[in-house]
Each structure stands twice: as structure tokens, then as C-alpha cells.
Chains A and B, each alone.
Chain A
Amino acid sequence: MRKLSTRRRHFLALPALLAMALLLTGAAYAVVAPDSATAESDASVSQIEAGRQLFVVGCASCHGLNAEGVTTAGTDGEPGNYGPSLIGVGAAAVGFQMETGRMPLARSGPQAPRNQQTYTDEEIEQIAAYVASLAPGPARPSEKDVDWQSVDEEGIARGGEFFRTNCTACHNSVGAGGALPSGRYAPSLKDVEPIHLYEAMLTGPQQMPVFSDEVLTPQDKREIIAYVKTVQQQGNDGGIGGGGLGPVVDGMFMWIIGLGILTGFAVWIGMHGTRTTKR
């Protein structure tokens, strides 16, 4: 008890208390929050307003005060889109971009990299509600949409087919990622949350095409997620994987380690003749 009372005046006490309060309200909110599919219509005016304020502070510098996008003169006098318009991108895009830490963009580059999430879940919901209120767009997927554990074996196999036809060209067959022109890349899908897999398909960030519900139904999307997750969790049959990078890495391994070890043995054997000169 004495400990607590002395620490009460610690300079971190206040921030810690605040963080705890935020966390609690966040958690409480998550429990009572309405199904996000309907959040768009139900989102209270106050939530949208809170989102707008957050947006003005954190995002407007690039996306414009009303999310209409900012076009500034790029290099060499070419017009460059500093931040695209967010009108109509929907809550799903905001959720995906912010929860994977891509937004707010820290540093401009060919592509926003995955990063730590900077905003709280609650703030993200608020901004999402604000962006969704601007124009209709894809909503955040529901719990049921991403419930991949309910998919049966047949569904997983079908998901594999969908994955190979639609995704491996960019993300590689084990989802290890791949390079795209101009320093861009399709990132690795390892450890990506199911909801972000879903939202990525729904919103098509960057070079990635949009897989709308007409192209891949919610059921198809769930099966794809199930396939990706199953394959990632089943472990590597056959030993340490080459990171899914395939033959290039294997070849390097054989040259450097395999041939290296064997040359070492050859040197060793060569040194030990029958008439050894060792004393």
C-alpha cells in the first residue's frame, strides 16, 4: 500500500491513468458497439463529428480539409497527388489503412509501408464513420464475414483455388510477397489479421485490384482467408522453409553452405595423408 501511495505522485501516473481509462472505454465500446455493417447509418452524429475533428488534425494536411484530396506540384513541375481523395473509399479503407499503421503516412515514398497502429481503435472507428458519412463506400466487414474458422475443408481447398487464381501473381504462393515495378511491392501476408485480409480485398489498396463482392463473394473471401491462415498455421512440412522465396534461395544455400561444408571436408581429408606430417 505504501508503494502505491508513493507512486501516486510519479510523473507517469497521470498518463498511465489516462491510458487505462481510454483502454477501458475502448473495450467497453467494443463490447457495446453496434455491428459495424450498420455502423454507417447508425453512427451517431457525435461520432462523426469526433471523427471529423481527428481528421482535420491528423489527415487533412494530405487529404484535404474535406477529404477531397490534395494536389500539389510534384517534382519537375508535374502535378502529383499528395493524398488521394477519400470520398467514397468507405469505412473499410480507413480501417485497413489505419489499423495496419499505413495511415497517417509518416514519410512519402513509393508506397505506404505497414507500421504500428498509432490511433486507438475508438478513434479509428470515429474517423471511419466520418469518411463513410461523406459518400457510400464499403463498410467494415462483420465478425461473421471474417469467421474463417467456420470454413470446412472443401471450402479451404476452394479458397486455395481462388488464392492461386487471384492473389499469387503478386503475393507469391505462400504469401511471402513479391516485387512490383518502381520500388513498389506486394507485402507479405504473414501475420496479417483476417479482417485486414478481407478489407484489402474489398478496397484494393495501391496497386492491388479491388475484389468487390461481385467478383469474390463474402463467402469466397472467407474461404480465401481460411486458406491463407490454414497454410500459414500448418507449419513447414519438410523442414526450415526458404521463406517461400523458392529456388534462388535454395541455390544460394547449396553453393554457400553445402559446397562450403564439403570443401571443408575435402581440405580436411587432403591434409591428413597416411604419412601425416603432424608432430
Chain B
Amino acid sequence: MSNNTFTRVEDSPTGKKLAGPVGWLDDRLGLAAAGKKNLRKVFPEHWSFMLGEVALWSFVVLLLTGVFLTLWFVPSMGLVEYQGSYKPLYGIEMSEAYASTLNISFDIRGGLLIRQIHHWGALLFVAAMMAHMLRVFFTGAYRKPREINWLIGVGLLSLGMVEGFTGYSLPDDLLSGTGLRFVDGMIRSIPLVGSYIEFFVFGGEFPGEAIVPRLYIAHVLLIPAILLGLVGAHMLLLVYHKHTQWPGPGRTNENVVGYPMLPVYMAKAGGFFFIVFGVLALFGAIIQINPVWVYGPYNPSEVTAGSQPDWYMGFSEGLVRLMPPLETTWFGWTFTWSVFLPAVGGLGLVFTSLALWPFIERWITGDEREHHLLERPRNAPVRTALGVAAMTMYGVGWAAGGNDIIALKFGLDIFAITWVLRIGFFVFPVIAFIVTKRICISLQRKDNETLSHGWETGVIDRSPAGGYAERHAPLPVEKAYALTSSREPLPELESERPKKADAKGVRNPKYRKQSLRHRLREFYYSGSVDQPSREEIEHANEHLVGADQHPIELGEDFQGISETGVPRVH
């Protein structure tokens, strides 16, 4: 659009009409000044920055569809005889919660669609949060000053899981009852106080009458309210800190390069909401989820093969399946370790280590600076490798949660799978750690090579003597900048080694702590290579341009070489 066709909003017909009321509002609320600043806030762009947005939009979808469901759902365990239109359950006695879920599915127009969107939305919500968290982890975006936002994120993830679980338990069908039974077992396994907590939560013995109404209040009021508050805080902090960005030309630790919130980012984000909603609606419309009617009403004496929690609880379930039986009785108290350790301990460990990691890392690296540029995963090999190892461990637990399905679908022996996973739980993460770390370090070396020897052009020279050599071209300055600007120089570990006593022979009282930290530092940086120094790069460039080989004529279009070795020309 050229400038002369551009009309300012104030001068457009609509603008003129709205000027009165908008001015009235602004005089009273003074939003224009605040809006001007915030709406022009700049956000950088990268696809991985949109994973969090997927989580946000699926939360919005959940709120919308959830409100629809509340209109018909009856949170009561009172018994009724089913009179609805699903014939195979006609006349069966069931709880009102289950009956009303059947009604939503079969007798309310659009009810089944909304139920299915709601459930798919829940799966996406937690999955997107987790993917978003992995992005933040692997890029080091949680470093100072963003630790608090990381903690809020951990809170959101755990609450999101609880929210999903309470929702899953509401319809009071056989599967959700089995899930509740699992959690009941988890609670009861807590040493000493377990059975008291069980009585408190269920208002008596499992399942009792109280649990569905209680879960309902938690599910539609308590947890969504907390989630909403946390999401708000998360966003506010994001705006306050400004978004991190990938290193690149013109991007420094002090600026943000990107598009303004209004109109560009708003349009993109708004559009993305419709895409997320669209995908969820598509899922809800064509793929069945949680067909509660085939499970039947909950009855403590029934179970079904292939009972599973939703995926985000699969990890806990899997750990319980992996744990060999272990129970002790001390002084008349029974401790069911085989449930407590994997279920309660496992979840506790996951969330505790997630919450503590930024602080542990900071203690190890001693890094007190602010970071607004992201770190490429390869440049923090130990962090990346730990992340992959943790993912592997999580994956093993998750697979164990579906061991019966794996056995059935692939015709394998369930015991064999369990044993492989039991051993794998300890062995696979170690392998993953070693492999990932090696890959990271190789990639660092590769970067160094491109920095000092330039791009491989894919042009092969044959010398008169018959030898072959590939020509290299100097790296464009912007690329070199992107590669180097966020990379931290490695510390001088040798000179920091703590001493037992100083030169005068006075004992160092903090020796133990210092030496532990030193050893962790050595571990954290071991194997990493420093990037080439300025002199090295300059020297290499001279070499590239002059000397015995002709500099390559690179056209305007030359953009380097793709991974497959083909010059990238547009």
C-alpha cells in the first residue's frame, strides 16, 4: 500500500464517529497512554516462541467449552435410573454425574462435539505446555532475570495436570473411577498420614459420595481461577522482561528485534487462536475421545483391560508398574513403598528438579549477568544432555504406563517389556546423556570450523598433481555474528581450583563446598571448546582470501550451503 492512499484512523468515517465515546473513555480511564507503550511493545519471531501460545489458546478453548459443559453437567453421585437415548444402558442405575454426561453426549445438541473438543483441548493444553517448557529449557531462556517466570511455568504445568485429572474424574465412568482409585492408592501410600488424608479428601472411605461435587468445584472454579491468575502473571512478567531472542545481526542483549504488538503480532496471534481452535474442533469432530458410554458407570468391583490415565499421568502410572513390590511394616504401620516411591516420589522429583534447576545451574556457572539472548543448545552441552536424559527417563516411564497396550499391539510378553524398561529406566538416560553431549560438542567444533575456515562451497578443485580439495568461502559477517554473539567464553577452571589452605597455612573453612562446586563446574564445562578468538578468525580470513587459491566468485544470491551441500540460491 503506498502512502498516499493511507488514511489515518482519526480521519476515517468510523474513526470520526468513534472519537466521541473513545475520548470519553480515555478521559476517565487514561488507557491511551498505557496502551501506546504496551501496544507498541516489540516481540521477536521464531516458530518455537509460539508453543507457549498454543498452550494459551488451548486454555481459552477449554474455558469456552468448559462453560458450555457446566450448563448440563450435574456434579452429584446421587443414583438415578438412566432414561436417556443411549439404548444399551437404558434402565441401568448410575450416578447423576454419569447420566448427565451421557445426556450431554446423546441428548444435547452439539454436546458430544463440545465434550470431545474439551477433552482434546485438555490433552493439547498439557502437551503444549510441556513442549513450551522444553523450548525454554533447551535455549536457556530461564536464566536471569526470568527465573520467577520459570517457576510460574512449573506451577502452571503441575496445576494443568491436576486440572486435567479432576476433569477426567468428573464423568464417573468406569475409566475415571479406576483413575480415581489409582490416586486413592497414591494418597493412601503416603506414610503415616495417608489414610487420614484419604478420609479427608473423599469425605470417608473411597469412593464415597462427596468426591464428585468436590472435584467439580476444584475443576470449574478453584483451579481455573488460579490458572488464570498464574497465566496473567506469566504474561505480565513476559512483557516486563521483554521476550528473549535468538542471536543475529542487530540483536544484542540490550534490544529486542521484532514486530510491534499492534498490529502485527496481535494479528498473527489472533489468527493463531483460530488455527488452534480449528485444529481442536477438527479433532473433536472426527476423532472419538473418552467414549464414556462404552465404559459403563463406575463400579468398584469392575475393571477393564487397557485402563489408562490421560497421557500426562501415564508417567506416574508407568513408574508404579515398573516398581517391584515393596512393603514394610514398622510398629504396626504399613508402608507401601512400591506405590509411594514411584507415584508420589516420582512426581515430586520431577517438579522439584524442574523448579530447582535454574538455581542449581546458576550456582554451578556462577553466572550473575542478565541474559536476553538465547543460548543454542549445543553451546551448553551438559544442560542439553541432562535435558535429553530426563526426557528419556520420562519416556521410559511413559512407555511403561502403556506396557499392556504395547504387549497387545506388538505381540510381546508384558513381563519382558517391563524388565527391559526397568533396566532401561537407569541405563537409557545415561546413554542419552553421553550421546547428546558428544553431538553438542561436535556441533561446537563444526561451528568453530566454519568460523575459521568459512563455508564449504561445494566447489571441488582438482590440482595438477591430481589431488582434490573443496573451496571454502568466508562466512558472511552476519552469520559469524550470529554464531559468536551469544557464546560464552569458557571459564579458566584451573586457576579457580579451591585450596585447602591459603599461602599462610590457614585452613579454608569453605573448602568442602567450594570443591564440590568446582567439581560440578568441571563437569559442566568438560569437553566444551572455546570459540576461536578474534585473531584466529582474522588470520583465517586472510588465508581464505589470499594465498594460493582464487577467492570464489560468489554472486549476489549466494547464501551459503545447505546441509546437503547444495549452494543455497534463491
Contacts and interface: CB of A to CB of B under 8 A. Distances in A.
A183 B268 CA distance: 52
Nearest to A188: B408
Given A238-B105, A248-B314, A178 B305 contact: yes
Interface in B305-346: 305-312, 314
B106 A258 contact: no
Interface string B374-401: 0000000000000000000000000001
Contacts of A258: 120, 123-124, 127, 279-280, 283
Contacts of A254: 120, 123-124, 127, 283, 311
A157 B306 contact: no
Contacts of A186: 305
Interface in B280-306: 280, 283, 285-291, 293-296, 299, 301-306
**Interface magnitude class on chain A:** 35 or more
Contacts of B415: 181-182
B102 to A, nearest CB: 11
A57 interface: no
Secondary structure at the B interface, as helix, strand, loop or mixed, is helix
B570 interface: yes
Nearest to B415: A181
B51 interface: yes
B355 to A, nearest CB: 24
Q: Of A157, A180, A234, A239, which is in contact with the most chain B CB atoms at under 10 Å from its CB? A: A239
Contact of A247 (B50, B87, B308): B308
Contact of B89 (A160, A238, A240, A247): A160
Given A181-B414, A279-B570, A168 B311 contact: no
B407 interface: yes
Contact of A238 (B49, B291, B401, B413): B291
B290 to A, nearest CB: 8
Interface stretch (B9-17, B270-278, B486-494): B270-278
A255 B283 CA distance: 12
A231 B88 CA distance: 8
Interface in A215-235: 227, 230-231, 234
A169 B305 contact: yes
Nearest to A176: B306
A174 B88 CA distance: 13
A145 interface: no
A160 B88 CA distance: 7
B408 A248 contact: no
Secondary structure at the A interface, as helix, strand, loop or mixed, is helix
A160 B92 contact: yes
Contacts of B304: 164, 168-169, 172-173
Contacts of A238: 105, 112, 116, 288-289, 291
A259 B285 contact: no
B131 to A, nearest CB: 6
A154 B90 CA distance: 7
B264 interface: yes
Contact of B175 (A178, A180, A246, A251): A246
B510 interface: no
B112 A237 contact: yes
B287 A265 contact: no
Contact of B51 (A164, A244, A266): A266
Contact of B127 (A177, A241, A244, A255): A255
Interface string A47-91: 000000000000000000000000000000000000000000000
Contact of B288 (A110, A161, A169, A239): A239
B324 to A, nearest CB: 15
A165 B92 CA distance: 14
Interface stretch (A6-14, A96-104, A267-275): A267-275
A206 to B, nearest CB: 15
A230 B299 contact: no
A112 interface: no
Interface of B: 45-51, 53-54, 87-92, 105-106, 112, 116, 120, 123-124, 127-128, 131, 174-175, 259, 264, 268, 271-272, 275-276, 279-280, 283, 285-291, 293-296, 299, 301-312, 314, 401-405, 407-409, 411-416, 570
25 contacts: A110-B413, A153-B87, A154-B90, A157-B87, A164-B304, A165-B299, A168-B302, A173-B296, A174-B291, A174-B294, A178-B404, A179-B407, A239-B288, A242-B287, A245-B306, A248-B311, A248-B401, A249-B405, A254-B283, A258-B279, A258-B283, A262-B54, A262-B275, A262-B276, A263-B131
Ranked 3 nearest A-B pairs via Cβ: A251-B311, A178-B305, A179-B407
Given A248-B401, A262-B279, 12 more contacts: A153-B87, A153-B91, A164-B296, A168-B296, A168-B303, A171-B305, A173-B296, A179-B305, A179-B403, A231-B88, A246-B308, A247-B308
